[in-house]
Each structure stands twice: as C-alpha cells, then as structure tokens.
Amino acid sequence: MIHVDPECEAVARLFSKRSIRAKLPAQTRSENPIFRRKGSSFNLKSVREYQGFDDIRQIDWRLYGRTDRYYIKEFYEEENERFYLLVDASASMGIYDREVYLRFVASLALIFLKLHFSVSLLSFDERLRDTCLNVKEEKNVGRVLAFLEALRFEGRTDVLAVLRALRSRYRPSTLFLFSDLFDANLQAESFAPFRRSFLLHFHRPFEEGDPPFAETEVEDPEWNSRLLLSYDPANRQRIRELERQFLRRFERPSRGYHYRRIDRGVARAPLYWGVLDDLYA
C-alpha cells in the first residue's frame, strides 16, 4: 500500500502562506497559484454599478468613498493550473526501493492538490502507458494512490519518444518527470519545448552496490542482459568519471528548467520545499 509522508500537511500549510504580492503590479496576470482564488483573480474584467441581486460583500468601498455610489469590480475567473506528472515505470526503476520512489511521487501530488492545483499522472517506459487524468481537490488523492499502487516496472526507457507523444497529445505547460533518466539521447535541451519542466532524478551511484575489486556482474533489467565488469582501481576511476559526465548532462540551469537529484536516504521534506520554491520563483 502506497502512503504519503506525514510532513506533507505542514509543507503545504506553511507554503500556502507565502506571498510575493509586493513584487507584482496589482493588475498584472500572475502565474503564482497563491493568487488564484475563484472570483477574485488579478485580471480585472469590468467595473459596473451595484445591482440588487449582487452580493453586498462585492462592493468596492474605496470607489464608494470617492463617488458616493456603489460599484462592483468583476474579475475573470482563473482555472487552477494542471500539472502533468510523468512517472517512469520502466524495468530499470526496479533497482530502487519501490515504496520510497512511489511515496515521493504520491506525496508531491498530494501537496499540489492541497495547494489547489490539478494533477494528471502518466506512467511510461518506451511509450506512454497508463493515465490518471485531471485529479482535483485533496479528497480525490485516493485516485493517485490507486494508480501508483497498480504500477509494474517493466519495459525499456525512451524518454524522448514519450516527451514527443506527451506534447502532441496533451500539450502540457508544466511537466514533472520522475525517472532515473537512463536514456542515452536525453539532454537538458530536450525539455526546451515545455514552458516549465522539473526533473526529479532518482539516482543510485554505482558504488552503492559495494562492488568488489575483482570481476563483478552487472545486470541490465531493461535489456535482460548481464555485463561482466573488471572492477579494479583504474576502472573505478573511469566509472566515476562516466557517472559524473552522466550527471552533468542535466545540471544546466536555464529559464523554466529545474533539476533535482534524489539520492537514497535523503530527507524528503526539504526536497518538497525546494520543488515548491522552484515552482513559485
């Protein structure tokens, strides 16, 4: 059974109190979801005289003080932004702790729901697989948990093909990718077509497996093959350098692109807060 971290409640509650009002002109459209409240957005539609059927609470008392007449300000309602959560369910993800991985996804989805976003989850390997679309409100988090619980890690990874399919089918503006990023052709630039993209990289260093200084067998679960590797001090240095090159492919900050590496055992609450910091920046 997939659970969420107990810290989600506090993270969402504390973050919902943040405000950047002082940084924005009062009538500028804001992408900050804190401003998105039904019927009171910052997009002014019109000013009209008060009528008998209007709610008295909508009267603009400042205008009344200047004109001695009752006026109502009408605003365009803004629909909550929808986030697309792309969840890697390829075979290589099986080397991670399933509960830890899916708990992270579920917890972040719950925080988004608590902050009044909508979320759509899609699993993938070399293609888009299962979907859980347009989840709104915290009370529907059970749909998210059931979707994640049903995932099976199988198939090969082709993130580039999946990104193309996602853009063609759904045209998302904000994307969250949960993956080990094992795609030889994937680069930070691959996410340029999305207005905002967040890469949550689940990383397990090669040495974490404590390989001996001898021949060691490495299994590739996606290709169902085994590699016999001579692991001596010289090869150890070479593998470390290859791993550093792999990680540097994604550590390229640019506008709208955010990358966070998630190592095993790391405290998750600061990661949730960091993602929200990036989101609201």
- Nearest C-alpha neighbor of 269 from the set 115, 107, 65, 98: 107
State which H helix or E strand residue 237 sits in: helix 233-248
10 in a structural domain = no
232 in a structural domain = yes
The verdict on 65 and 92 lying in the same domain is no
pLDDT of 32 strictly over 90: no
The verdict on 131 and 186 lying in the same domain is yes
User: Domain span at residue 71?
Assistant: 25-75
CA distances (Å), 174 to each of 83, 152, 155, 258, in order? Answer: 5, 25, 26, 11
Kindly report the pTM of this predicted structure: 0.73
230 — pLDDT class (breaks 50, 70, 90): low
The verdict on 93 and 188 lying in the same domain is yes
More confident residue, 246 or 20: 246
Query: How many domains does the structure of the chain reveal?
Result: 2
More confident residue, 239 or 11: 11
Strand 128-136 to 118-124 pairing: antiparallel
Q: Quick one: pLDDT at residue 37?
A: 40
User: What CATH number does the domain containing 203 carry?
Assistant: 3.40.50.410
The verdict on 194 and 260 lying in the same domain is yes
206 in a structural domain = yes
2 in a structural domain = no
pLDDT of 254 strictly over 90: no
20 in a structural domain = no
- Nearest C-alpha neighbor of 114 from the set 143, 144, 85, 139: 139
Q: Quick one: pLDDT at residue 40?
A: 44
